[in-house]
Amino acid sequence: MTRSTLNQWFRSAWPPFVAVLLFLTAWEAAVRFFGIEAWILPSPSVIAQEASSSASSLWMHTLSTLQLTLIGFAIGSTFGLLVACALHLVPLLKSALYPLLILSQNVPTIALAPLLMIWFGFGLLPKIIVITLVCFFPVAVSTMDGFAQTDRTMLNYMRMIGAKRTQIFRKLEFPHALPSMFSGLRIAATYSVMGAVIAEWIGAQKGIGYYMILQKSAFRTDRIFAAIIIIVVLSLLLFLLVTLIERLVVRGGRRGASSEGGESR
């Protein structure tokens, strides 16, 4: 069982792996062949070299960004989840606030960052607020969708056997909404890294975003590439973390679409 899943994983992992390898090779070859200057487009080997020589400072900035991301993600997701539950359980609240919630999704949250800096200074607080806002919407909206899509037959069954409102919520609606909630969390995970970096661009003394701004003014394209790679890796890690938690929490055959193909074989 474990061996076959490992095998399967390997089989689906090698084609993209080879594709990336080919892409890097082509990149390297093109840079050398056309003699492109490093400040325009550094070759992968140059980026790797630079990354390893400035590893300690990159690591410091990465940790700072990671911390910011995790705090913002945790607060924003919790907040989104609580609001979704509250709106679902109090229909009046929902009919009053849900349309506003959907409308306010059109406000580009990131654009509020400069405003927040003016109001709350350049410390941790405005940055956390930005990430919280960015994470809040996808979690709240998809969790509420999950509640709304509760299976009618199951709902009728619970009512017929005399389940109380809280029992229906705890035993049916909440577990039913979990897959949908996790797809919101996955989106929030990627957004939160982006939110952190942008918040750092606007005003910070450390973090990957700050590092990028610094290197930009020095035209150190190689270091900017290293920073981009770190951002991608951070997003991926957070995404995987959410997926892992989903695997532990969501039971039975109804996980997100990503794992469905694996189970059908």
- List of residues contacting other proteins (CB under 8 A): 151, 153-154, 156-163, 167, 171-172, 175-176, 178, 250-254
Identity of the residue, 16 or 162, whose beta carbon is nearer to other proteins in the bound complex: 162
Q: How far apart are CA 229 and CA 55, in angstroms?
A: 13
Identity of the residue, 48 or 250, whose beta carbon is nearer to other proteins in the bound complex: 250
Identity of the residue, 32 or 254, whose beta carbon is nearer to other proteins in the bound complex: 254
Q: Is 163 exposed, middle or buried (0-12, 13-18, 19+ CB in 10 A)?
A: middle
| Residues constituting the chain | 265
> What contacts 24+ positions apart, CB below 8 Å, involve 4-8?
5/262, 8/262, 8/265
Q: Which of 221, 79, 51, 198 is nearest to 139 (CA)?
A: 79
* Cβ atoms of 242 and 258 closer than 8 Å: no
* Cβ atoms of 40 and 193 closer than 8 Å: no
Identity of the residue, 173 or 222, whose beta carbon is nearer to other proteins in the bound complex: 173
Least distance to other proteins, CB of residue 184, Å: 18
Least distance to other proteins, CB of residue 141, Å: 22
Least distance to other proteins, CB of residue 150, Å: 11
Least distance to other proteins, CB of residue 172, Å: 7
Q: Hey, is 252 helix, strand or coil?
A: coil
Least distance to other proteins, CB of residue 244, Å: 18
Identity of the residue, 32 or 251, whose beta carbon is nearer to other proteins in the bound complex: 251
